[in-house]
Amino acid sequence: MEQTNIESSSQPQPLTSEELRKINAYWRASNYLSVGQIYLLDNPLLTKPLTLEHIKPRLLGHWGTTPGLNFIYTHLNRIIKTNELNMIYVTGPGHGGPGLVAHTWLEGTYSEIYPSVPQNESGMKKLFKQFSFPGGIPSHCAPETPGSIHEGGELGYALSHAYGAVFDNPDLIACCVVGDGEAETGPLATAWHSNKFLNPVQDGAVLPILHLNGYKIANPTVLARLSHEELESLFVGYGHTPYWVEGSDPETMHQSMAATLDTVITDIKAIQTNARKTGNVTRPRWPMIILRTPKGWTGPAEVDGLKTEGYWRSHQVPLAELSTKPEHIQLLEQWMKSYKPEQLFDKNGALRLELAELAPEGPRRMSANPHTNGGLLLKELNIPDFRDYAVSVPHPGQVEAESTRIMGYLLRDVMKLNDRSRNFRVMGPDETNSNRLGALFEVTDRTWMAEILPDDDHLAPNGRVMEILSEHTCQGWLEGYLLTGRHGIFSCYEAFIHIVDSMFNQHAKWLKVSKEIPWRRPIASLNYLLTSHVWRQDHNGFSHQDPGFIDHVVNKKADIIRVFLPPDANTLLTVTDKCLRSRDFINVIVAGKQQQPQWLSIDAAIKHCSAGIGIWEWASNDQGKEPDVVMACAGDVPTLETLAAVELLRQQAPELRIRVINIVDLMTLQPREEHPHGLPDKDFDAMFTKDKPIIFAYHGYPWLIHRLTYRRTNHNNLHVRGYKEEGTTTTPFDMVVRNDLDRFHLVSDVVDRVAKLNQTGGYIKQFVRDKLIEHRHFITTYGKDMPEIINWKWSGTYH
């Protein structure tokens, strides 16, 4: 596709020649600094002839996307100043790291935050050297980059992050550059529909710029090779009014970009003013920009006779092998000098005053906007006393409740109490009601800016429950919302949270690095409620059964992640309160939504959750003595089956001394050296004994428990039951039977491992075998579980 300037030439020319000269100079300055970061160790102002010793021995960085990002940044500065905008910059093409860093240095923020990199020649030298250099800064946008809320690593999430940032920030505009590579990803492709969830009255605006750079690493991009008409249709279909800026001639492009930005800002303001004055919240057609510029714009046109500017060869370092090709050093010097650094920087290496004046000031600088360091703006969430929502549990196991429904009452009141602050949202892929959090709809609605019909149920433009059938979008919105200093929770079917495994990785990495950066302030934790879990997907079947997200999570740094398996409603309330108050973590809560016995009073729950693990004395009969067997459980269904097994054993082998341990906080199982919540070895040994058999009923894949405990004294006697990938559409109890996690298998496991039962064991094993045959016969005949399973209740005899 040829570069044309047809569009732009017919547009107005808003810049005076003086403005044009300056804006172009500012852009050249940022390009110069970008190339310098990629290449130079020394001689930053090129005051001496460039030689190999001034050049980095390893060239790591990406030029291709950078001049385009710099072009946009420079122009955003102009409209921020002329319109007094509150704006942040979200750049999908994270490879453009050098450009973003260059701008933060030009506008002073970088030196304010990192005083060792001042705005002079020595600072410029440090700026260059540190980039993509061991002990320096990463090559992509990263937490180290002032003004960034978006890691430039994995692609796909720029747009959902930008929307997350502007929800409930009516004054904020997030300019979001979507690379045409990233635009091919699924998460990005659906994130365009976020505009159906943006309320012009109470939310800010996103200004998407689709940057048609033309090429990925070694390939053209799909969108860059569509016809103008097709691409225009696509974005009209996505609900936008596209404005085109295309070309390569800097002067024309500056006029075109300035004129277009003037137009789109006027559009955005008109939409907002109209909606806010009239209260009319019909979904507007938001503007967006399609910017087509050459990849590696202003870089070497050809290298070694091969096309480079405007081609994928510009993706990383257009000039390489400088130690063996001296002519490349010359080319590099020519390239850098083409920006005319002497016109841009004074003798000391500082940006000339007439250019520095082009940047906004103070917190209006995109690199210093407090929304990009959300912890600065974070307000404590107003959380009611969770004890007020407690289920009354006079005796363990006598009362039933749906745990997540109880949690829903707490979330409802959190929503209500923070209604004025507008800083709490609940995300989920169409499952808020299904996950029994429906109480939220007593105080708010589902966010909805598309058409609303009379029959609709709790849809409203100002709803605060956000449902879209895209786990990616839910996660991206929530991340953007949290990174800009707000609070939230994401509820999801357990199996399908794997859809965002990779997004979880990136957010965990962001948090890990942010914690090491003093100026990054703590933000609210990312909270997951995983429900409709593996043991209660009996009706949806095998495809909906996977408890492996926990395994994925525990691979990340111990000081970032927390995993909770509350066995009932009161423990779920306690854990929820803890998670909502925490900072800089990723909290995973796994809890069922079905009716189930309640075990702990609220006081007992608080005590239990505070330790994270504990002996349930009311269910044990070892009365302070060494038990014959330890029965441990983590998760609501395993807890139920364990207690049912304990009761069977009590009937069948009353002489057996059983200790019951329940684990809420999975991290307590790890050694203290591995995780701050880890139980000290001495306490672990006291609890689990040093040599007695442990039968551990676990919610997920059994080997995770081995992985967490392999260093513990009694690990050799640990026998774990859990999900072993045996599932289908069947009854709830049959699901646990298929995976050997049911009460009968647990009893059998105990018999196999306790010497004391040598005598009676044969009888007990025959008893459980008969029960399992009866179960199988019953479900295949009647399609439901035996009444003795459905109606089972903890007898409470040990109590």
Q: How far is the CB of 379 from a copy of itself (least distance, A)?
A: 30
Please name the residue that has the structure tokens 């690095």. Answer: 513
Q: How far is the CB of 330 from a copy of itself (least distance, A)?
A: 22
Q: Do 712 and 688 form a contact (C-beta atoms < 8 A)?
A: yes
Closer residue to a copy of itself in complex, CB, 230/346:
230
Q: Residue 58 class from Cβ within 10 Å (0-12 exposed, 13-18 middle, 19+ buried)? A: exposed
Q: How far is the CB of 186 from a copy of itself (least distance, A)?
A: 3
Q: How far is the CB of 136 from a copy of itself (least distance, A)?
A: 8
Q: Do 149 and 90 form a contact (C-beta atoms < 8 A)?
A: yes
Q: Do 309 and 300 form a contact (C-beta atoms < 8 A)?
A: yes
Q: Residue 324 class from Cβ within 10 Å (0-12 exposed, 13-18 middle, 19+ buried)? A: exposed
Q: At 311, list the tokens.
A: 């081609």
Q: How far is the CB of 768 from a copy of itself (least distance, A)?
A: 19
CA 236 to chain centre: 29
| DSSP states along 133-173 | STTSB-SS--TTSTT--S-SSSSS-HHHHHHHHHTT-TTEE
Helix, strand, coil shares of the chain, percent, nearest 5, are 45, 15, 40
Closer residue to a copy of itself in complex, CB, 547/612:
547
Closer residue to a copy of itself in complex, CB, 348/780:
780
Closer residue to a copy of itself in complex, CB, 137/319:
137
CA 783 to chain centre: 41
Please name the residue that has the structure tokens 């702990």. Answer: 600
Q: How far is the CB of 719 from a copy of itself (least distance, A)?
A: 11
Q: At 162, list the tokens.
A: 């930008």
Q: At 784, list the tokens.
A: 């439901």
Radius of gyration of the chain from its Cα atoms, rounded to whole angstroms: 30
Closer residue to a copy of itself in complex, CB, 81/715:
715
Closer residue to a copy of itself in complex, CB, 122/233:
233
Burial 423-454 (b: 16+ CB within 10 A, else e): bbbbbbbebbbbbbbbbbbebbbbbbbeeeee
Q: How far is the CB of 244 from a copy of itself (least distance, A)?
A: 15
Q: How far is the CB of 24 from a copy of itself (least distance, A)?
A: 28
Q: How far is the CB of 429 from a copy of itself (least distance, A)?
A: 8
Closer residue to a copy of itself in complex, CB, 109/130:
130
Closer residue to a copy of itself in complex, CB, 427/779:
779
CB neighbours of 287 closer than 8 A, spacing ≥ 6? Answer: 207, 240, 241, 242, 243, 263, 264, 267, 268
Q: How far is the CB of 519 from a copy of itself (least distance, A)?
A: 18
Comparing CA positions, the residue from 482, 563, 571, 488 lying closest to residue 530 is 563
